[in-house]
Structure 1
Amino acid sequence: MPRVGVDPSGSVTVVGIGDDGWDGLSAAARAVVARADVVVGAARHLALIPAGGERLPWPSPFAVGFVAESAARRRVCVLASGDPMFYGVGATLVRELGAARVTVVPAPSSTSLACARLGWPVQTVPVVSAVGRPLAALAAELTAGARVLLLSADGSTPGRAAVLLRERGFGTSALTVLEHLGGPTESVWSGTADALAAAPERRFADLNVLAIECGPGPGLSRVPGLPDDAYAHDGQLTKREIRAVTLAALGPRPGELLWDVGAGSGSIGIEWMRVHPSCSAIGFEAREDRAERARANAATLGVPGLRVVVGHAPDVLAGAPTPDAIFVGGGLTVDGVVERCWAALRPGGRLVANAVVAETEADLLRCRALYGGELTRLQVARSTPVGRFTGWRPAMPVTQWAVTKSGAEPVGSTSPTRSADATRSVEGE
């Protein structure tokens, strides 16, 4: 029997409920609801249970504070859709109140129900939520033959997703809209992205899940080193091969945060975030036009959560969350940039910086003398026609400094001397 919120610590029980309402609840879940002094939930959830006791709809804007206040003196039950720990309020309550004060009684999630209807193994299907999140995140999952589930924000979401699919070259993808899953009015619509995108007036029930079977299309790998033409840029772009080596040196791991100092077109932060959905990045960029371009590139490539802050380093770095890795793509010659980055980096974090011109290469040599790490010279040549034959056209060599912060003091004893151009702003990759 699940714990009910009656002790002085103020615990709360969260009950998952499906579109089948009271009849679909287990005996244990019904007992929690029946014994509660207060039941909190969305209006549609409260309408699914018998009358009795106090019923409180969630406030607008959404807040959880009053739940904790009530739980200190009364038995409180919170109703939530399906599995409350899957993109649900259960996770929010645990974060705010602590796991020891929250008991969850789950029902099948909309993902489980959708996969059961479609015959898709749940563990093989990526899930994207458009509930309170940008729809653009769907783009990261699009590749030929992929199966994807989209949790819709409302009845317009399937149509907007169909437009996105068509714009990304996946118009032939098969779509299935599952409305009111598990309820007495459950229904299914099937068609193609092209067909749905051509019918903007079509609206579905607000409670729906969109299943996508991607047709042929120009999907992009999650492995770093996307084609250069995947990005809009003004020349401030870390080129494909260098970008791949740079990401390898940064070593993104699930849940980690990157600082991209001198974000330019945003490619380093974008490809860091594409490695894993839990990776995050903050780009720092001196120019507003480049910052806006980086945000647009992030949305196009399926990581709209990239945060880009406009300002000049090192001052713009103040107050930013502690990073797990830092890429310095611009501003190496600006006083205090490397020092500020090194001070902010957590122990065990990685810092990588690239240099093309001799002046910034000299800065990397001084940084290596102070902080340690490794220097690598990278040279790329591309084939080019030479009459009837083929030759090689070398790109400018890149010197890369990569170091891991051990937590000990720097290996050198003095600060690296900056070059005379100390007024240059952070301007790109």
Structure 2
Amino acid sequence: MIFHVIGIGNRKPDLAEDVLTLIQHHTVFSGGNRHHELVRHFLPEGYQWLPVQSPMELLFESYRHANQPVVVFASGDPLFYGIANTLRTKYPQAEIQTYPYFSSIQLLLHRANLNSNLLQTVSVHGRSWAALDEALIQQNPLIGVLTDPEKSPSAIAGRLLAYGYSNYSIWIGEDLEGEQERIRHLHLEEATQGTFHTLNCMILQKESHRNISFGVSDSFFEGLEGRPNMITKMPVRLCSLHALDLGSRAVLWDIGFCTGSMSIEAKLHFPHLEIHAFEKRAECLQIIQNNQHKCGTPGIIAWIGDVFEFDLKQISRPQAVFIGGHGGRLTALLQILDQYLPAGAVVVINAVQEDSVKNFISFSGLLNWKLEEPLRLKADTHNEITILKAIKGC
């Protein structure tokens, strides 16, 4: 299969001679309705148009039955969250030639006169918040965002404010190159109240750096009422994160999160992580959410209830597990985890009771997990903590 993918803007395109020649030598074309209106006067007589619309499987079937090269018109840069990437995924053996135009984010950069060398771009268009959350926690200087009707500029500005990222301002480009083009540079509070053209994109510009400590002070976290010591202490937290070795892992389970301090610290240092935090105390849901907002860590997924009663098969498999609590059922928990952990996954526990240390060591051996040397820590006047680590074998 052969595809020629031509990027165009939001107005009648001024196509290069080689592209015009290409068009005249083909008969099967594809694109959205808007693209058709913009290019139809370039198309040869007797052309066939395959509209890009849902359901996409019907479109892919049309491509397969075309039996000749297809010229596809796309918005902006077809390789920038565009159909050229979709075609490469769908037809990995296809020959794909692209003729790009400026992406919407590039156009907005030009209008705002911003340094594109500093830009990281994410998309929340039909996607989760995960990529934007990661870029925010990293505090990138310029973050380009492709929006959608639900994750609109006002919703995005509200999310930044909710998690304390008021150190950003927002550039919004509406109907770029269209009759209603408008460029605005707004404070986040202004953006939360604004209404915007349905065709929009945005750039978040960092105005100052938000200082977040390497090792969040224990006193910064909201805790359980009347139980101030129910938190993994900061030195223990950092040593446990070292043991979890999260840099190359994608999914972390935090079992018995209580205040959420471990999940939050992990998200701050490894913002790419998908984190699932489990806790049986219902009141801890509000606590972890409050602490997430204070520490600027959106995206942690909290599960309230007994971890033994969840259908864990419906949750992303972890490459790392931290056990902060087990309700006296440590060996049963390890046995369950053994069913879900892939080879090479790491399990770390902070044990206070000597029974927990012995049970973890003995049962890990039965499961054929590789144990590392325990680390014992004592923070101030608190109980001594033993940090235990095991790696699941093949």
Structure 2 residue 314 is the aligned partner of structure 1 residue 322? no
Matching of residues 215-294 of structure 1 within 5 Å: 215-216=207-208, 218-220=210-212, 225-228=215-218, 231-234=221-224, 237-254=231-248, 256-276=250-270, 278-287=272-281, 289-291=283-285, 294=288
Alignment check: 8 A CA contact 1:356 1:398 kept: yes
SS in 1 for 2:336: helix
Aligned to 1:401: 388
Aligned to 1:354: 350
Task: Work out which of the residue numbers 18, 38, 50 in structure 1 matches 2:40.
Answer: 50
How has the CA–CA distance of structure 1 residues 22 and 298 changed in structure 2, closer, same or farther, with 3 Å as cutoff?
farther
**Aligned counterparts of 2:317 and 2:137: Cα–Cα separation in 1:** 32
Matching of residues 101-116 of structure 1 within 5 Å: 101=94, 103=96, 105=98, 106-116=100-110
Structure 1: gaps of 5 or more residues: 6-12, 382-393, 408-429
Structure 2 residue 60 is the aligned partner of structure 1 residue 68? yes
Structure 2 residue 142 is the aligned partner of structure 1 residue 147? yes
Alignment check: 8 A CA contact 1:264 1:285 kept: yes
**1:31 corresponds to which letter in structure 2?**
L
**Aligned counterparts of 1:31 and 1:193: Cα–Cα separation in 2:** 46
**2:183 corresponds to which letter in structure 1?**
V
Task: Work out which of the residue numbers 113, 120, 124 in structure 2 matches 1:126.
Answer: 120
Provide, for residues 25-54 of structure 1, a one-character-per-residue CA deviation record: whole Å limited to 9, x for no partner: 78449836983635243x444433316533
Q: Aligned pair count? A: 376
Aligned to 2:334: 338
Alignment check: 8 A CA contact 1:257 1:324 kept: yes
Question: Which deviates the most, 162-171 or 47-56?
Answer: 162-171
**Aligned counterparts of 2:24 and 2:223: Cα–Cα separation in 1:** 56
Residue 232 (structure 1) shift: 4.8
Alignment check: 8 A CA contact 2:50 2:62 kept: no
Q: TM-score, normalised by structure 1?
A: 0.71
Provide, for residues 280-325 of structure 1, a one-character-per-residue CA deviation record: whole Å limited to 9, x for no partner: 2333444555456546755776654434445534453345443222
**2:244 corresponds to which letter in structure 1?**
L
Aligned to 1:206: 198
**2:262 corresponds to which letter in structure 1?**
I
Alignment check: 8 A CA contact 1:22 1:30 kept: no
Residue 209 (structure 1) shift: 2.8
Q: TM-score, normalised by structure 2?
A: 0.76
How has the CA–CA distance of structure 1 residues 209 and 321 changed in structure 2, closer, same or farther, with 3 Å as cutoff?
closer
**Aligned counterparts of 2:260 and 2:37: Cα–Cα separation in 1:** 47
Alignment check: 8 A CA contact 2:137 2:297 kept: no
Matching of residues 286-305 of structure 1 within 5 Å: 286-287=280-281, 289-291=283-285, 294=288, 304-305=298-299
**1:125 corresponds to which letter in structure 2?**
L
Residue 87 (structure 1) shift: 3.4
Residue 172 (structure 1) shift: 6.9
Residue 73 (structure 1) shift: 0.6
**Aligned counterparts of 2:379 and 2:52: Cα–Cα separation in 1:** 61
SS in 2 for 1:132: coil
How has the CA–CA distance of structure 1 residues 395 and 24 changed in structure 2, closer, same or farther, with 3 Å as cutoff?
farther
- Identity %, equivalent residues: 24
Structure with the higher helix share, 1 or 2: 2
SS in 1 for 2:334: helix
How has the CA–CA distance of structure 1 residues 162 and 323 changed in structure 2, closer, same or farther, with 3 Å as cutoff?
closer
Structure 2 residue 3 is the aligned partner of structure 1 residue 18? no
Aligned to 1:422: none
Alignment check: 8 A CA contact 2:52 2:59 kept: no
Alignment check: 8 A CA contact 2:147 2:200 kept: yes
**1:100 corresponds to which letter in structure 2?**
Q
Task: Work out which of the residue numbers 87, 92, 97 in structure 2 matches 1:99.
Answer: 92
Aligned to 1:391: none
How has the CA–CA distance of structure 1 residues 302 and 102 changed in structure 2, closer, same or farther, with 3 Å as cutoff?
farther
**1:279 corresponds to which letter in structure 2?**
L
How has the CA–CA distance of structure 1 residues 275 and 117 changed in structure 2, closer, same or farther, with 3 Å as cutoff?
farther
Residue 246 (structure 1) shift: 1.5
Structure 2: gaps of 5 or more residues: 42-46
Residue 111 (structure 1) shift: 3.1
Aligned to 1:379: 378
**Aligned counterparts of 2:170 and 2:254: Cα–Cα separation in 1:** 37
